[in-house]
Amino acid sequence: DLGPTGTLRLLILTVKRSPGCLINIVRCQTPLVDSLLLCPVTHFPPSEIQHVRNCPIDCASIYYNGVRRSGLYTVVPSLAGMPVEVYCDMDTDGGGWTVIQRRVDGSVSFDRNWRDYRDGFGDLNSEFWLGNDHIHDLSTQGDYSLRIDLEDWSNNHKHALYQSFRSVNEEHQYRLHVSDFSGTISHGGWWYNQCFYANLNGVYYRVSRGPLGPDGIVWYSWRDSDYYSLRKVSMMIRPRSFRTRLSP
């Protein structure tokens, strides 16, 4: 038993090394408390310190630590070493997904400049782009898969899965590498200037009729109709080797 003093010292030492880890423990133990100073040391028993020692590098790591609730968490990508807040989807296809993009209601404009897309923008609880730097850090620390979920204005759902996904760094303009497609919708590609098959960061049209034009939220093969603008989309990644049986 470390006792209150020993537990606090271990927390401080570990958080100095990886400051993003403490936030998840505070959330798990006392959701309304935002800092260690407001949270009694007794809220952090030695059994919880293991979550700090094994800092999560993505949402799959958080899942393996026994967390099953979708929501906001802090991860520390192994290559970057800096904490980043992410939304974890613990429900879709077994969970463990780190969400990198979401469109749901048009509350956030995706007509942004290079810097915004590099750093990220929006609200993690609604619409957002996680940021190209963060996507690079996450997707290059191992072998990752990309899942894209799509919903139209009649509540029809489809998805696309790319078993291999990674994004290179800014020096190489965040070039995407994707392969091994499967899913319930035809394959799409990210080509622009009206020569594309997918445009998930397009203009959000708040109407249910389509097609509306090439600047909407489009997956070209949806309903065999070109440029039908979708109601909801999300993009999320997790390790290709993810298995629910590996969790506690």
Per-domain boundaries in the chain:
1-55, 56-187+232-246
On the question of pLDDT at 40 being above 80, the answer is no
Write down the pLDDT at residue 55: 78
Task: Quickly state the pLDDT bin for 53 (edges 50, 70, 90).
Answer: very low
Q: What does pTM read for this prediction?
A: 0.77
Report the CATH number of the 56-187+232-246 domain: 3.90.215.10
Contact 125, 144 (CB under 8 A): no
* Of the ranges 25-29, 61-65, 135-139, 189-193, the best mean pLDDT one: 135-139
Q: Which are the contacts of 153, defined by CB distance < 8 A and separation ≥ 6?
A: 207, 208, 209, 210, 230, 231
Cα distances (Å, whole numbers) of residue 162 to 186, 210, 240: 12, 27, 10
CA–CA dist 198, 189 (Å, integer): 6
Write down the pLDDT at residue 13: 55
Contact 147, 93 (CB under 8 A): yes
Q: For residue 12, count other CB atoms closer than 10 A to its CB.
A: 11
Q: For residue 125, count other CB atoms closer than 10 A to its CB.
A: 11
Q: Residues 4-32: pLDDT tens digits?
A: 555 555 555 555 444 445 555 545 544 33
Nearest alpha carbon to residue 120 among 99, 94, 140, 105:
99
Q: Residues 116-175: pLDDT tens digits?
A: 999 999 999 999 999 999 999 999 999 999 999 999 988 999 999 999 999 999 999 999
